[in-house]
Structure 1
Amino acid sequence: MKPFSTIAIPHRDILEGRLTMDVFAADLWEVFKDRAPEEYQDPDIFFRKTYLTSGLKNLLDIAEKRLGGKGGDPIIQLQTPFGGGKTHSLIALYHKAKELGINLIVLSGDKFPAGKNEPTLWEEIERQLEGKIENLEGMVTPGGEKLRELLQRHQPLLLLLDEIHEYVAVKALGVKVGDSNLASQTIAFLQELTGVVKTLDKTILFVSLPSSNPYRDEKSEEILQALQTILGRMEKVYTPVQDEEISHVIRRRLFSEVNEKEARNTIEEFLDYAEREKILPEGVEKVKYRERFVQSFPFQPEVIDVLYKRWGSFPTFQRTRGVLRILALIVHSLKDSKNSFIRLGDFDLKNDEIKMELIKHIGQEYNGIIAADITSRDAGAKKVDRSLGDAYSPFSFGTKSANVIFMSSFSGGPERGAGINEIKLSCADPSTPSSIVAEAVSKLKDNLFYISDVGLFFTNQPNLNRILLTKMGSIEDLKLEEKNLLTKSLTKEYFDIYIWPGNPKDISDTTRLKLVIQTNHKRCKEFLENCGERPRVYRNTLIFLCPSESERISFDNFLKKKLAWHFIEKDKTLRITDEQRKEVREKIKKAEAEVKERIRSLYRLILLPSKEGFKEIDLGIPTYGADVTIDKEVYERLRGDGEILEKLSALSLKEKYLKDRDYVKTKNILESFYKTSGEVRVIRDEVLKDSIKEGVRQGLFGVGGIENGKPVCDHFKEEFSPEIVEEEIIIRAELCLPKPIEGISDEMFQSYITKIKECDRTLDITKIEEEIAQYDLSSEQRKKLEKEARRRKDELQDIVKPKEKYHNINLKLNVPSGKLSDIVKMVNYIKSKFNQVNIRVEISTQDGEMAISEYEDKVKEAINQAGVRVEDEDVE
């Protein structure tokens, strides 16, 4: 779309910025004195820039008819709200009289003095007609006959009386005339004047009166009613400018020409967009809105409505003149822009002239309010502009939305504020979705200080945002509150808990698992390695939980707000409304509901001691609505990842500690769990005891002691409860087998076992016979050994060469409600071992492998802990 300034061409004075108020201040007295601006003094320029409304045309026709002796109303009262075009109409009548060559009387009450040494209205009339004051001299009204003689001699005669109420109510009221005053005499004179004019066939009187009393005092109100009563006996009231004509008046005065075809093209393109976005005014048909837009172009209809009807309802706002002045400033400020039309959102409130034209009607305090919320670099609206992202920041939707809200906030009546659709209509750009404006408005509510808490309008009272920020600014130390929140979010069910310990000695050096909440990541190593003055022994029992630095600013801001809302609620000195107090309570309720999630979002980094330093695990974003303590979530995560074991498979124990050794002390195993960083973490000693007990029962290894420097198996393939003492060892299963044949030494038996282990996995009997043939045995011994080998083939296969890995896993699970996340973690572990994992209600794997010990510890254990029932299991 083309820039509006290439379609609607502004007058040169608008483009050049010759925008002083006197250009728009129609002044009949200045025209009469031949010293008005050329826009009013030169009749050609005046009528070229004046839109002849139906009312103005009617006035000119009535005057011409009456002055020609062809009848018509002798007295016309012009009555509109202040600034509604009365004086402009009188100037038009003045130029018409000059054109017709008739006599003129001009009295302008705002410029005409009153006093003992000043001429009265009747004296001024005689002076203007006769050039001297003789027959009508004096402070007392002259009477009807003298007045009639004077006026009749000078017919045809046009009398123009402007601002008469101001003259009588403000000036003449204070001038004494005998026992009376000049105001009373002037009212009597006007009564005589109207009576005389009625009797003269070529004389017409035009009088302008305000529609309401602008001075707001009882006496001036009485005078206005008296004047209306006098004129009301025979006058006709005319409104020079109807509301629907104001757009034409504005266009004619501000623009020299408008390309109607291009204007319609621009309007149609916008209407198509507005219709798609459903932002046309509610209850207004598209065709009607198009008609209004065509009349007001390049201004959106809402611009005229808000200025003329809302701002124009202020007693101090001169309606037509004030609207013209502001819009002239707006056009000048946008003359070099690419705007295709002018919206309320385009008002530049940073422009001092525009701003001052507005705030003089609403109060100087709004100068600071506009800066704080809309125009300064750190204003809330500017923050919203930046927060919408690079794609939308050039559109300044935050500032534009704030402009619309501000312009819609004020009127002399009850109307105030704007709805979201009105704001969209006055801000939206056809190249963007209007929803971005709604987002901007939502953010404005959280960033502006003077937008009302109960609607989209500005006030001169700080809103809860401002009060909130003031309270937040007084909060310096958040540590105590943060610690309290942490304390409420932790239990001692899973770990010994230490919150922000100041010294490593504050953490006990025991075998219990400990969750250490630390704010400084760098101190974790110090706490891990030391316990006061001595080195820490049980290092693998420490689990550190630290805050995410990326969440710190957000959390501190949330915490300050939470505390500030509580301070506001308790502050009885604050003068806030019941509605605001209700909102404060709602904010507190919301903050309390969020607090667990917020503290958990902050403390999300687990640092686990490992062989290389620390292993970092990020708990991620908390699950919405999950009522889980932080320590429980840490525990469940580490248990799900296999970092903490509630159960240790016997096979895993065998693979880890007896793969390359014949035996190992049970106490050393347990000590390594607690002391060695990165080792298996068990929740208690019983985890190891149960594992040993199961291994002995299954015959995966045996338990015994050392005799003469050699392991001696005391328990194998039987029920047994280990004690985890210094002398206790677990022993490889092969060393726990009984001698198969009497007369064969231990050395020979062990050699036999070794040779068997080197045979093919199938334990082919032929190969076993070949091995037996190598020994120097009797025929009877050889036969017994062969028989024993055959008998124990299956047993030897399990003990000597057990299966170590699964290449295929098929599981069918029945998952209870709320346990799916545990299964997902287990599935992720399976996926790390296989190249292809198919998941349905069942789990099947292909192309990969997993150690049986891993399957037992990490997969089966996760399933068991989750309380999931395995309906079918097939592993290979």
Structure 2
Amino acid sequence: MKPWWQVVVPHKDIKEGKFDESVFACDLADVVKMRAPSDYLDPEIFFKKTYFTAKLKMLLKDILLRISGKQTQGSVIQLTTPFGGGKTHSLLCLYHLFKNKEKVKNLSSIKELLDECGLSDIPEVKVCVFVGIQQDVLRGRSPWGEIFYQLGVYQEYKEYDKKYAPGKEILLKIFQEKGPDLILMDEIVEYALRASIESESFKEAFVSFFHQLTVAIPSTKNSSLVVALPSSALESYGEKGERILRELQKIIGREEKVYTLVEGDEKYEIIRKRLFESLGDVNEHNIIAQKYFEMYLQAKDSIPAFAVDASYKERIKKAYPFHPETIDILFERWSTISTFQRTRGVLRLLALIVSNLYKKRELSYLIHPSNIDLKDSSIKAEFLKHIDSRFGAIIDTDIIEKSSKIDKEIGSEFEKFKVATSLATSIFFYTFSGAVERKGTSISRIRLSLLQEGIPLPIIGDTLKRLEEKLYYLKSEGNIYYFDTEPNLNMIIVERQETIKDEDVELNFKNEIKNILGKEFEAYLFPTTSQDIPDNTKLKLIILKETPPNDYKNLEEFCKEIFDKYSQSFRVYKNTLIFVLPTRDEVFEVKNIIKNLLALQSIKNDDSLLNKMSSKNKKILEEKFRKIKSDLPYRIFSLYRKIYVPTKEGLKLYDLGMPVVGESLNLSLRIKEFLKEQEIMINKLDYNYISKNILASTEKKTFKEIKEVFYKFPGFPIPEDETVLKHSIAQGVNLGTIGLKKQDKTYFKKTISLYDIKDEDEILPSDMVKDVSNGPKPPPPPP
């Protein structure tokens, strides 16, 4: 599969990022006055970038047939869609088709249109344009005066202008004399509203004229009136504008034919035609659609059911290079926001998105909602035009900053997909709608917007959990996720964390360590000098902080100081020391967890705050507290997994490795078992060891002296306890490798209980025992 940017080619201005956003919001009057963008002024370019939807094609055919006298229908036509739904573009199609017939009649799309109408040429017609937003109500010509002017009869009927509206008979006479005529009207609700402000009587005159116009045109043989009206004026013009719209609709409704210009999947073709110079090899589209469909079938239990229907594969082909969700969300959700103009708003936004992503050329086979780059100031500004401006800071905080940080934490294997940022972007995209009940979306829809080759499903779920834990403005209700301007519990926790003192965190950190220490060794927490660690034969765990105290360069230097010295003297019992070090790069995270726990505890104890909190947030608070409280001991346990052990050469560093989940949380026991595995610590000593390694053939030592050899000198195995040594000695005495002398009694090749061996007892090499047992040699015989 090829990335989409290797297949399609955007129009040059989009590709280069130099497009004029006004090309998606043209005014019919600007075209008439030759001051519109070139894409609208040049009829050939205009038609090449226009996709003929079924209804647009029907509109053009109806007018062609009506003007040519081949049919009576199509005399009065109302174009109705929400704002930005293609009404003005349709009027421009009619304007260029008839006003610039010589320039467009040989275009393939126009030829096809004429053939279907049974026409060899575009019929002649006088085109009159009235755009209410461009007319000066106070000083300009009235709507009828403007039409008279464009038909060349203004002087004859000048007395009507601004005084009273002409009746049907006058209009019919003019149309019959000057026809065929095509009258295109746009933004007339805006005009009527402004007229009512200046003079209610003039507004009534306009309404009267509009009524006379709608009844005069059908009486002509081959003239047409095409009027663009919004489906609603409430959001844009208020209640008064809505009343005027209903009045105009009622008037035109007696005669008109209504066209809804964009239906179903036609929106995909409109967008592709306007944004791309070439869509590339259709086979590539088919390959991508098939691969995605196969992927969706494998994930059918995790995504919406409609995505595994065969028809969705066809939608992927029609929408290519966009993922259908990218366009559908804009049309179905964003376009219901009053300020978001349906088609032109979508086009303007998608042009910015395509321009941005085409330059970046990141690995993606379709343009997903998750690919939208909210770091791009133009894209971000386009979204913020239509929503609460506070979302600008939310984009910066949650989507750009925090989500990007999570992407780095996930690991290099998935970092290129920016899973966290992509998830947050998708949720942001789904959050907004003009309909309150459409706020946010489900996890299955989020997966659909993000899923592509190389991203495993589990990573999406895991990352979403991280977002819920880290982001300040992400919320969920049931299975629905969305962003909100009110902070979530995470923000409350962060604010409360700021009140937690470092010394409280350190105290709790220390207490948590004590809770998992166990009792296998004597433990010393966070020493600051060598004097803090006693010099005796007891086995000691020395638990260190992540940084050395005082002026030591590092922990190793501090450990060596303790290893070599006790206060101002040399340390004697070096082989009793086991230093336990934290994994330094994890300490901050663990302390932050403790800080989080203390913040949660503080919130739980704050009745005034709890009273303001929703039951859902109370439940989340309790769940968070319980989980952190439960998980923290293991985090501490796994944090302390490095140890320094005495050897002949000095201290040697060992890594215990990550503990097994479910393992008993006893740190001293874990270290003890590790030392045994490495044969550094022993619970059994060979009966020959002492005679071979400690006793010389003519030397005897007390049990205490032998015991101290093991605890003084690194390199000797560390006895688990002194019974290990007693057992070895008792066995050696029994087998005759060593002897034991208790006061005046000597044991050799005899059984002795290890419990009878005392510190003051002497341990003798076997040769010395034999000499003792044989007694003094007799004197030689006399000569």
Alignment TM class, shorter chain as reference: 0.7 to 0.9
Q: Does structure 2 conserve the Cα–Cα contact (< 8 Å) formed by 1:528 and 1:542?
A: yes
CA positional deviation for 1:700: 5.7
Which deviates further from its counterpart, 697-706 or 509-518? 697-706
1:802-841 to 2 correspondence within 5 Å?
Answer: none
In structure 1, the partner of 2:244 is: 223
Among 174, 181, 194, the alignment partner of 2:214 is 194
CA distance in 1, matches of 2:58, 2:227: 16
* Amino acid in the other structure paired with 1:717: K
Among 422, 425, 431, the alignment partner of 1:409 is 431
Which deviates further from its counterpart, 154-163 or 418-427? 418-427
Q: Does structure 2 conserve the Cα–Cα contact (< 8 Å) formed by 1:175 and 1:181?
A: no
In structure 1, the partner of 2:702 is: 665
CA positional deviation for 1:359: 2.1
Q: Does structure 1 conserve the Cα–Cα contact (< 8 Å) formed by 2:573 and 2:711?
A: yes
1:361 alignment partner, SS class: coil
1:452 alignment partner, SS class: strand
The C-alpha deviation readout for 1:264-302, integer Å capped at 9, x for no partner, is 454356447636754786334564234323333333333
CA distance in 2, matches of 1:358, 1:409: 12
> TM-score scaled by structure 1?
0.73
1:188-587 to 2 correspondence within 5 Å?
Answer: 188-213=208-233, 214-215=235-236, 217-259=238-280, 261-267=282-288, 270-271=291-292, 274=295, 278=299, 282-284=305-307, 287-335=310-358, 337=361, 341-375=366-400, 379-387=401-409, 389-390=411-412, 392-413=414-435, 414-417=437-440, 426=449, 430=453, 448-453=471-476, 455-464=480-489, 477=502, 478-491=505-518, 493-519=519-545, 520=548, 521=555, 522-532=557-567, 538-567=573-602, 569=604, 573=609, 578-587=615-624
CA positional deviation for 1:91: 2.3
CA positional deviation for 1:652: 4.9
CA distance in 1, matches of 2:315, 2:734: 94
In structure 2, the partner of 1:159 is: 183
Q: Does structure 2 conserve the Cα–Cα contact (< 8 Å) formed by 1:702 and 1:736?
A: yes
The C-alpha deviation readout for 1:794-836, integer Å capped at 9, x for no partner, is xxxxxxxxxxxxxxxxxxxxxxxxxxxxxxxxxxxxxxxxxxx
The C-alpha deviation readout for 1:67-122, integer Å capped at 9, x for no partner, is 4554225432211111111112222233445453333442222222323x444334
Matched, 1:134 2:143: no
Structure 1 residues 505 and 220, CA, compared in 2 at 3 Å: closer, same or farther? same
In structure 1, the partner of 2:118 is: none
In structure 1, the partner of 2:763 is: 730
Which deviates further from its counterpart, 25-34 or 398-407? 398-407
* Amino acid in the other structure paired with 2:558: R
CA distance in 2, matches of 1:487, 1:665: 37
Q: Does structure 2 conserve the Cα–Cα contact (< 8 Å) formed by 1:24 and 1:324?
A: yes
CA distance in 1, matches of 2:591, 2:693: 46
CA distance in 2, matches of 1:247, 1:281: 21
Q: Does structure 1 conserve the Cα–Cα contact (< 8 Å) formed by 2:293 and 2:313?
A: no
Structure 1 residues 436 and 277, CA, compared in 2 at 3 Å: closer, same or farther? farther
* Amino acid in the other structure paired with 1:544: F
CA distance in 2, matches of 1:152, 1:452: 65
2:338 alignment partner, SS class: coil
In structure 1, the partner of 2:126 is: 103
Which deviates further from its counterpart, 592-601 or 218-227? 218-227
CA distance in 1, matches of 2:224, 2:333: 35
1:489 alignment partner, SS class: helix
Structure 1 residues 62 and 653, CA, compared in 2 at 3 Å: closer, same or farther? same
CA distance in 2, matches of 1:489, 1:84: 67
In structure 2, the partner of 1:54 is: 54
CA distance in 2, matches of 1:253, 1:546: 63
CA positional deviation for 1:317: 1.5
Q: Does structure 1 conserve the Cα–Cα contact (< 8 Å) formed by 2:75 and 2:256?
A: yes
Q: Does structure 1 conserve the Cα–Cα contact (< 8 Å) formed by 2:535 and 2:573?
A: yes
CA distance in 2, matches of 1:612, 1:261: 71
Alignment size in residue pairs: 735
CA positional deviation for 1:504: 4.1
CA distance in 2, matches of 1:500, 1:368: 43
CA distance in 2, matches of 1:675, 1:299: 74
* Amino acid in the other structure paired with 2:81: T
CA distance in 2, matches of 1:641, 1:17: 65
Structure 1 residues 50 and 534, CA, compared in 2 at 3 Å: closer, same or farther? closer
1:583-598 to 2 correspondence within 5 Å?
Answer: 583-598=620-635
Which deviates further from its counterpart, 294-303 or 676-685? 676-685
* Amino acid in the other structure paired with 1:229: K
Which deviates further from its counterpart, 220-229 or 32-41? 32-41
CA distance in 2, matches of 1:570, 1:293: 53
* Amino acid in the other structure paired with 1:33: K
Structure 1 residues 716 and 500, CA, compared in 2 at 3 Å: closer, same or farther? same
1:679-718 to 2 correspondence within 5 Å?
Answer: 681=718, 701-704=738-741, 713=746, 717=750
In structure 2, the partner of 1:747 is: 777
Structure 1 residues 197 and 629, CA, compared in 2 at 3 Å: closer, same or farther? same
Structure 1 residues 95 and 679, CA, compared in 2 at 3 Å: closer, same or farther? closer
2:160 alignment partner, SS class: coil
Higher-Rg structure is 1
CA distance in 1, matches of 2:621, 2:365: 43
CA positional deviation for 1:467: 5.3
The CA RMSD over aligned residues, in Å, is: 4.2
CA distance in 2, matches of 1:68, 1:12: 38
Q: Does structure 2 conserve the Cα–Cα contact (< 8 Å) formed by 1:700 and 1:733?
A: yes
Greater per-residue helix proportion: 2
Structure 1 residues 400 and 157, CA, compared in 2 at 3 Å: closer, same or farther? same
Q: Does structure 2 conserve the Cα–Cα contact (< 8 Å) formed by 1:546 and 1:605?
A: yes
CA distance in 1, matches of 2:767, 2:339: 108
CA positional deviation for 1:239: 0.8
In structure 2, the partner of 1:828 is: none
* Amino acid in the other structure paired with 1:347: I
Q: Does structure 2 conserve the Cα–Cα contact (< 8 Å) formed by 1:297 and 1:341?
A: yes
* Amino acid in the other structure paired with 2:525: I
* Amino acid in the other structure paired with 2:344: R
CA positional deviation for 1:556: 3.5
Q: Structure 1 unaligned segments of length 5 or more: list them.
A: 750-774, 778-876
